[in-house]
Amino acid sequence: MSTPRQSYADPQWIDVDTAATFLRTCPDDAFMCLLRDCIERIETASEKLVSQVLIELEKRQLLEDPLWQQWQQEQDVRRSPFGLRLLAETCQRCGKNELATDFWTQLASLSIDDLATAHLALARLSEHPEEAYRHLRAAVGNCEEYAFLSRAARMLHRLQKKSPPPDARTIKVAVLGSSTTSLLLPILQVLGLRSGLNIDCYEAPFGQIPQEILNPGSGLYAFAPDFVIIATNWRDAGLPPISEDPETALDAVVEHWKNLWGPLMEKHPCTILQHNFDVPVVDSAGSLSGRHPGGRARLLRRLNEQLLGSAPAGVLFVDFDHIAGEFGKRAWFDAVGWYGAKQYPAADALPLLCEHYLALIRTALGLSAKVLALDLDNTLWQGVIGEDGLQGIKTGPPSAVGEAFADIRRYAAELKERGILLVVVSKNNEADAKLPFEQGEDMILKLEDFASFRANWEDKTHNLRQAAEELNLGLDSFVLLDDNPAERAQVRTQATAVAVVELPPRPEDFLQALQAGHHFEALTLSTEDQQRHADYQANRERQSLQTATGSLTDYLRQLRMEATLRPFNDADLDRIVQLINKTNQFNLTTRRYSREEVKALMASPDYWTCSVRLSDRFGDSGLVGVIIARREPARWYIDTWLMSCRVLGRGVEALMLHTLAQAARDDGATELEGRFIPTAKNGLVADLFPKLGFAPAGTDVDAQKFFAALDALVIPETHIEVVGS
């Protein structure tokens, strides 16, 4: 009886590094046998092992070997992520791009671990830019590795030479740094892609922050950025280990930055992203640095607080010290990179830093998510409610994993308190799905906390679309939390606008994965935010009233609506800016203005502004509408007209137009001109001007123009009582 051949890839003693070593050193006649063992037994298609195999295949001239050609057709090889990647790489090297595309596509659907690599390869192989961009966006969707993102950034640069990303919003970002920033910009641009942003960048000369800001002829002002990142670090505070006069030292630093912010915002209104100061790990004063009144660590923390309190509204702080702690301060500083190239922080930390930049940029642009869509089984609790029953699922202590799920529910409840809507999308019987919220003892979430509850056997994409329709929001407002990889993949493919959180294997890590996306960042917390959930609940009561009444007129009359219309003011400014930058559907021009730009409009005699608040018998909807018009002697031009979709169909738009028309008449004007600039999301108002009595007046670049003579304008009556102005 012969002795069975021992496999080099015996899972009891081999790992990827060992396999790479054996493949490099084994004789030619054993190579293919060993490689087959590796394909069958090693699941992870590691970069190192794949590279080693490709080197060996080329060196041993095996790429055209009949056995290797035969393997391309064998199902057991094609079922292995390692085997698929090898087949894809070798076909690509041999110029068999169609076959390589097939293998990469299979790998993308088979292995979450290889998803990014597969999509980046598919982007390179795509002949059509739009398809290449789609794959590139998928490649960087959940990747935080600097080396990989650098490769993806090079791919983005090549694509941009052909055409800009489709359906991406172009913004201009200038970076002013006291350290090297050349590695940072490509990472910022490629990560911006997954936020739907096409980022045009300006990199100021090294260490020239004051010079760029104070010189009106600098490249900064010629570039005219929307955002300016001021990338500083603890060295820029200039503090010694122990300061003899701490107060004077702090005042000097605060005054220095105030003297730069002011001129920058005066010369060019924009949003500034300013680093606060990180506290270094290495300090000759040791722990005394944090205890002594003049210690550098203690003063840096005080300085961060003082800068935050002194900054004007257009300055947003990037919590550089917090990000350093999140990344790990020992790894944050790369001595070789600093002394050799003034790189700070370490290159590996740049993706995390850029994520924090983009979180603030998205928020300033009104692109933060509005809805957290939640699966239930093994997402909000451990177990399957339909099979395990209420007593069988783990929802909290004393179960360790149950406690992790309880923290997820608590986090969701906290999001709801600041205006994020919660919805359920679960494959479940509805009665089973509701049971834990109705009878569970330690459930902080109750049924009334959900703006929409969809538990059925429809696919997730269908339920998400239905929830979006119910809430009158776009799918790009949604973030999905679901433990099932297949469900996540399906939503990514069929509802690409939804942000899908890639969850790790352990439930204990789910919350960190959700937090890492920074989907729900906010710059302010308005009364409207805090009341948002209650307003959606009130909308259900409004819908019930509408169903019960015999006509639309009766329904509107029974709502007992009251409105307050008034010019923009400082008290409402944050909410007005939020609406201008977040409203997409009922928005005629989708022009976006920063806080400073809105303040300039408020102060200008050439502009008329109006905001509207609405309440009814079911509750107060808060500030829901905005109009900005440019005055000219005979004709007023509607610059911006937008309204929250929560109040659609109640006649608010007619009331706003009536107020605008009356103001124009009182000012001596005889005509109004409005423009509709189509976007992917504002089709809702494409015919608004004709419906309100405006006549088409031609086109101008990307806008459709409409005209109305004020003496002939007939505005529909409303059932809204104006109670304040």
Pairing of strands 703-709, 695-700: antiparallel
Interatomic CA distance for residues 656 and 611, integer angstroms: 9
- pLDDT, tens digit, 9 for 90 and up, residues 29-69: 777 777 777 776 666 667 777 887 888 777 877 777 776 66
Quote the mean pLDDT of the chain.
Answer: 90
pTM greater than 0.85: no
Asked if 161 and 154 touch (Cβ cutoff 8 Å), the reply is no
Between 5 and 475, whose confidence is greater? 475
- For residue 3, the model assigns a pLDDT of 37
Q: Span 96-125, mean pLDDT? A: 87
- For residue 532, the model assigns a pLDDT of 84
Strand partners, 133: none
Interatomic CA distance for residues 320 and 276, integer angstroms: 5
- For residue 128, the model assigns a pLDDT of 93
- pLDDT, tens digit, 9 for 90 and up, residues 232-261: 999 999 999 999 999 999 999 999 999 999
Give, rounded to a whole angstrom, the gap between the first and last alpha carbons of the chain: 99
How many CB atoms are closer than 10 A to CB 220?
A: 25
- pLDDT, tens digit, 9 for 90 and up, residues 548-586: 887 899 999 999 999 999 999 998 998 898 899 888 889
DSSP 291-329: HSTTBHHHHHHHHHHHHHHHS-TTEEEE-HHHHHHHH-H
- For residue 611, the model assigns a pLDDT of 96
- pLDDT, tens digit, 9 for 90 and up, residues 251-308: 999 999 999 999 999 899 889 999 999 999 999 999 999 999 999 999 999 999 999 9
For residue 269, say if its preceding peptide bond is cis, omega within 30 degrees of 0. Answer: no
User: In the predicted model, is pLDDT for residue 528 greater than 90?
Assistant: no
User: In the predicted model, is pLDDT for residue 116 greater than 80?
Assistant: yes
Q: Span 201-213, mean pLDDT? A: 96
Q: Span 122-143, mean pLDDT? A: 91
- For residue 72, the model assigns a pLDDT of 63
Please report, rounded to a whole number, the percentage of residues in the chain having pLDDT higher than 70.
95
